Amino acid sequence: MEPVPPEIARLFEASEERRRKLAALPWPEKVRMVVRLQQMAAPILRARGIAAHPWELDEEEPPADAASGEE
């Protein structure tokens, strides 16, 4: 097997670092990210004739214990 070129190795490491950062986010932030992706995809899906109904969130600040992920 051939060694991985340095440029590719850097890409793999950057990808892994991004995954670790996303995994460390609190769950409310992850949900907000999913909703934002739904909102971005909805117009494209509707243009294709597919019903799209992004979730709606209350944009109030969550309680301090909910934001930290502690229960």
On whether the CB atoms of residues 54 and 38 are closer than 8 A, the answer is yes
Half-sphere exposure of 14 (CA within 13 A, CB side): 6
pLDDT at 20: 98
pLDDT at 71: 44
Which amino acid is present at 10?
R
On whether the CB atoms of residues 60 and 35 are closer than 8 A, the answer is no
pTM exceeding the 0.85 threshold for the entire prediction: no
Q: Give the start-to-end residue ranges of the domains of the chain.
A: 6-67
Question: Each residue's pLDDT tens digit in the chain (71 positions)?
Answer: 889 999 999 999 999 999 999 999 999 999 999 999 999 999 999 999 999 999 998 876 555 555 555 54
